[in-house]
Amino acid sequence: MNSLLEVQGISVSFDGFRAINNLSFVIGCPEMRAVIGPNGAGKTTFMDIVTGKTRPDTGSVRWGETGRSLLAMSEAQIAQVGVGRKFQRPTVFEDQSVWDNLRVSLKKPRGPIAALFDRVSEADRARIDEIAAEIGLSEHLERPAGILSHGQKQWLEIGMLLAQDPKLLLVDEPAAGMTTEEREHTTALLKRLAQSHAVVVVEHDMEFVRRLECRVTVLHEGSVLAEGSLDHVMADERVIEVYLGR
C-alpha cells in the first residue's frame, strides 16, 4: 500500500492561537481511518488544510505517488486531483430529483463550451445507476431529494462525492442524527468504499468508530496524541485523561 496523502509537520495559528501544532498524518489507498478527539482538537481545521480552505503557516501536504504539493493548488484544483469532502449537514439540491443531483455532480470537463454540449451520455447514465446502487438509492432516483430521510440525504451526498471520482474521501460525522438502521447502512457503505478509496471519517460517536474496525488517529490540541486500533488508543493514559478531562 502506497501513501496517498502525506501531511508533515503542519502548524497554523489564528490570532496567535495555535489550532494545529506540528501535525503529521499519512494515509494510504485503500485505507479507512477514523479521526477522533475532543471539541477544539483541530479535526475540522486539519480537513480545511487538506482541502485548501486554510493554508498552514509551516509544514507540507503531499499527494500521490509523485508527492505533488497540495499547498500550491487552489481548492478547486485539490478537488480535481481527487480530494472529496462531505460536510456534516447534507447540502443536496432539495427540489431536484436524486437522479439530477447525481447527474450535476458527475466529473465533466468544465467551461462554457463543455457546458453548451452537456448531454447525458449512456456512460453517464450507467455511472448514475452504479452510484445509486452503491449508496442504496436505486429505488428513489425519481424522488425529489428534499423528501428523503436524513440518512438518505447523507448517502446521496456521498453519492455526489463519488460522482466526482475522488481518491480520498473526507467524511465529517456521518452518523450524526441517524437511526440505528441508517447507521448500519452507513457503516457498510463506508467500509465498501474503503476497499477502493482512502476514507477519513471524523466522528465523535465511539460506537460508530468501533464498527468501522479501522486504525484510529486521536487529535488533541492540534497534534496527534495517539494512533492505532480503537482499543489501543483507548487504553492510552493520555487519551483517557483528555476524554475524562473534557
Ligand X SMILES: Nc1ncnc2c1ncn2[C@@H]1O[C@H](COP(=O)(O)OP(=O)(O)OP(=O)(O)O)[C@@H](O)[C@H]1O
Instruction: Supply 183's cell numbers.
Output: 447507521
Options 12-20, 73-81, 125-133, 156-164: segment touching ligand X (CB under 6 A): 12-20
Q: Does residue 246 bind ligand X (CB under 6 A)? A: no
Closest separation in Å from C-beta 180 to ligand X: 23
Quickly tell me which residue has 496567535 as its cell: 16
- Nearer of residues 39 and 180 to ligand X, judged by Cβ: 39
Among 44, 80, 96, 164, binds ligand X (CB under 6 A): 44
Residue 198's CB is within 10 A of a number of other CB atoms, namely 24
Q: Does residue 39 bind ligand X (CB under 6 A)? A: yes
* Strand bridging mode 215-220 / 31-36: parallel
Closest separation in Å from C-beta 59 to ligand X: 15
Binding footprint of ligand X, residue count (CB under 6 A): 11
- Nearer of residues 40 and 64 to ligand X, judged by Cβ: 40
Who's near 26: CB < 8 A, 6+ residues apart?
3, 5, 6, 7
- Nearer of residues 5 and 145 to ligand X, judged by Cβ: 5
Q: Does residue 174 bind ligand X (CB under 6 A)? A: no
Instruction: Supply 72's cell numbers.
Output: 500550491
Q: Does residue 14 bind ligand X (CB under 6 A)? A: yes
Closest separation in Å from C-beta 172 to ligand X: 8
Options 11-19, 55-63, 90-98, 128-136: segment touching ligand X (CB under 6 A): 11-19
- Nearer of residues 157 and 173 to ligand X, judged by Cβ: 173
> How many angstroms from the chain centroid is the CA of residue 180?
21
Residue 75's CB is within 10 A of a number of other CB atoms, namely 14
Residue 61 · residue 51 · CB < 8 Å? no
Question: What mask, x for binding ligand X by CB under 6 A, covers residues 142 to 161?
Answer: --------------------
Q: Does residue 87 bind ligand X (CB under 6 A)? A: no
Report the distance separating Cα 229 and Cα 226, nearest Å. 10
- Please state at what angle helix 98-105 crosses helix 150-162, rounded to 10 degrees: 30
Report the distance separating Cα 172 and Cα 85, nearest Å. 8
Instruction: Supply 61's cell numbers.
Output: 501536504
Interface residue list for ligand X (CB under 6 A): 14, 17, 19, 37, 39-45
